[in-house]
Every structure is written in C-alpha cells, then in structure tokens.
Amino acid sequence: MSSPAGDRPKVVSKLPGSLRQTLKVRAAQHGVEIQTAVEQGINAWCNLAASLGTVDTRGADSFATFLPDGLWDTFRETTADRGVSLIQGLAQSVQLWLDTNPAPDIERPEISRRIVVCNQKGGVGKTAITAGTGEAMAEDSNALHPVRIAKQLAAASGEEGPLEVENLPGLGLRVLLVDFDPQCHLTNQLGATPLPMTGDSLTNHMAGDPKGDLRDLVVSVEEDTFGGRLHLLPACNDAFLLDVRLSAVRAREAALERALAPLEADYDVIIVDCPPSLGLSMDAAAYYGRRRDGEAPGQSGALIVVQAEDSSADAYELLTTQFEDLRGDLAIVIDYLGIVVNLYDGRRGYIATSSLQGWVDIKDPRVVGLVGDLKEQKEAVRVKRPLLSYAPRSQQAVAMRALAREIS
C-alpha cells in the first residue's frame, strides 16, 4: 500500500491485461469510475459464501486503484480464509462485477434517424463530414475511443489550446451512408466503385424505374473496423439527370423517401451526402429529413456544413430560404441539427476567427462541430480509407466523434 490519495489509499496488485481492458470499457459504459467498480466487486466477492471458479491470471501485470480505508485489509483476510492468492481474489472480484454489470444494450431509435448533410456551396467538406459522422456512430461499443469534450466544440477563440479528450465507448449504431451526389465523392473516398450507368441506381428507384432491389446495391465499409455496422449506398453518374427525371414524377418531393423506405428497418441512422444544389434533388433530400409523426424533435433533420469565410454565409442564406419555402409549401417540419464549421484554421487570421464567431452567434441552429483543416483527412481520401480507421486518434477523428455525440 502506498501513500493515500484523498480518503482512499492506493493499493497495488496484479490483473490480467484482457480483464483490465474489459473492466475499463465496462466501467465507461456504465458511467462509473474504475475504482468504484473494483470496490463494488470486492465487496460483493467478500460477501459470498465461498470463492468463485478460478480465473486465468497468467500474464497478470501491475494494477493500481484507490479503495476505501480498510477494504483492502478485509479483502486480504478473505483471500487468506479461502486459500486463494490476492491476484486470484482480485481477478474473481473484477469478474464478478463484470458478470453482474453486463454491457448495456445499444439504444436504437424507434424510427430510423435521417440526417441530411447539405450546403449548396461546393468544397466545404460535406462528404468528409458525412463519412466521419457515420463512422463515429458505427464504432464498436465494446471499445474505447478518444472523444473531444463537448465544451470545446463551439470555442470561438482564435487561440489554439491543447486538445482535451476523454475515452468513451463507441456508439455501436447501424449506419447507412447514402451518396446522393453524382460526382461520387463519398463512394470514391471510401474505396467503393461508383455504380455503372447501365445498371440499377438510386436515381432509377427515385424515378420509378427500378431494375432490381436497392438493397443489392449496398456495400459494407471496412468490416474489420466497423463490424458490419457501416454500409454505403454508392452513387452513379446518372444522378446528373435526376432533376430532369424527377420533373415527371408524381409527388417528387417524396421520391427519395419512397426509394429508401425499404432499407430503413435495417439501420438506426441513414446519412445522406447531398449534392451542391438547390434543385429538385435537394427538395427530395430535405423532405426525407423532415420530422415524421411520432418522432422527437432533433432526431432527424439537416446538418449544415460551412467554412469560416464569407461565401459560406451567402450559401447558407440560400439553403435556409429553400427550407423555409418547403416548410410553408408542404406544411412540414424540418429540424436543423446544427452547423458544422469545417476546415477551420485559426492561423488564417481575422477572416477565419471573425467568421467562426459569426456562426457561433447564430445560436439557432447552433454550432455542433468544429473540425480543423489538417492533413489526416486528405491522406485518408488519397488512400481511399475511412478517416476513423486510417487515423483513429487524429484531432479530426476526435472531433468527428464529438460531433456524432452532439447530434445523437
């Protein structure tokens, strides 16, 4: 036993690495401190009539924690009475806590969430935000990932301070990314192949001329990393003709919803990467993201990606005007999930910092993400890999996880 920390003395023993890692994740899943979990486990173990089955402690190495005064002495006496080593007793105590505190079930929405990532200005990074948000939502819930703390999201200061992070379990959601842009940027960035013009496509399904089951077009994204929870509906260049084809479709605003409806039962979240357009395709995307009957506010809606410069502000005004017109014409509710300021670099001076402050000052919709202009995203695009598997601990990856939690 070493010097006390507060009113809890520090104790040092040994624990197998796999058990220690599982404890760390499970404690985070339940929102408790590791020392609290160990305390509860030791108390429960000491109160048992007899020790549990033997736990494999081969390869155990140093493990330290803080326990209430006197608990370690009680634990030592109990291990002696039961004829087991301190290491074995601690391993059984931790295993007992894990067995009585199983991993919580993933909270799945009753209605599949629909997130429309948009801005009619090109080059703001809608595709990167679409991919990064989806990847963050699909990460393993039985592993810890670095996340930027929420209070830093809308920091309007131009000062670049140290990035504070905390390790949290992944959200573990089933996510479908929809490449709705005829330029196929999302498809290419994730290493998939655009759909051929001669085959089936989302455009055909929206135009009422399908050539098969839309589900057959969906591909899985890096199953080793995302465990089959992240899927992509690739784009096709025929989407350049979508507005023309939609002009002849009845109730064309609902065309995207009709096309994607058969897929919704398979996913918790569907994220649509929209083209830089204010045409009929954007109307269909906005309608798809509207609030449905029985759906809570803020579950679905528009996520607007901007940059800290003046032209993004002009594009934002055009986009929100289009949304307001749709709200009035179709009597629907379209929620703003927030604004993401992307590709931010405070070193660019007054234009960047003052523009960021302008976005923060809007308040409704509020800034829900601030993503820096760093090299890792560009590198991930070059090698055609998801950012969160290519550079999972990068500042951009950390910011994507924070964004995903801000809008969840």
d(C-alpha 215, C-alpha 264), whole Å: 10
Last residue of a domain, one of 74, 100, 126: 100
**Residue 178 belongs to a domain:** yes
**Residue 106 belongs to a domain:** no
Residue 355 sits in the same domain as residue 388: yes
Residue 394 sits in the same domain as residue 250: yes
pLDDT in tens, 290-347: 999 999 999 999 999 998 887 788 888 889 999 999 999 999 999 999 999 999 988 8
Answer whether residue 153 shows pLDDT above 90. Answer: no
Answer whether residue 260 shows pLDDT above 90. Answer: yes
Mean pLDDT of 121-148: 94
The number of folded domains in the chain is 2
- The contacts of residue 62 (CB under 8 Å, 6+ apart) are 12, 13, 14
- Containing domain of residue 119, as a range? 113-406
Last residue of a domain, one of 100, 132, 149: 100
pLDDT in tens, 232-256: 999 999 888 898 999 888 999 999 9
Residue 403: alpha-carbon gap to chain centroid = 7
Which has more confidence, 191 or 314? Answer: 191
Give me 51's structure tokens: 């020790």
Residue 230 sits in the same domain as residue 289: yes
For residue 394, what are the CA distances in angstroms to 44, 172, 272, 376, 405?
Answer: 40, 20, 24, 7, 17
pLDDT for residue 311? 79
pLDDT for residue 4? 45
Mapped onto helix, strand or coil, the DSSP state of residue 201 is coil
- One DSSP character per residue, 149-170 reads -GGGTT---S------EEEEE-
Last residue of a domain, one of 43, 77, 100: 100
d(C-alpha 406, C-alpha 394), whole Å: 19
**Residue 372 belongs to a domain:** yes
Residue 174 sits in the same domain as residue 206: yes
d(C-alpha 348, C-alpha 309), whole Å: 10
Taking the model in full, what pTM does it have?
0.91
**Residue 140 and residue 29 in contact, taking contact as beta carbons nearer than 8 Å:** no
Residue 377 sits in the same domain as residue 294: yes
Q: Pick the closest to residue 233 from 190, 172, 268, 198 (CA basis).
A: 190
Backbone angles phi, psi at 370, to 5 degrees: -135, 110
**Residue 390 and residue 400 in contact, taking contact as beta carbons nearer than 8 Å:** no
Residue 201 sits in the same domain as residue 79: no
pLDDT interval class at 103 (50, 70, 90): very high
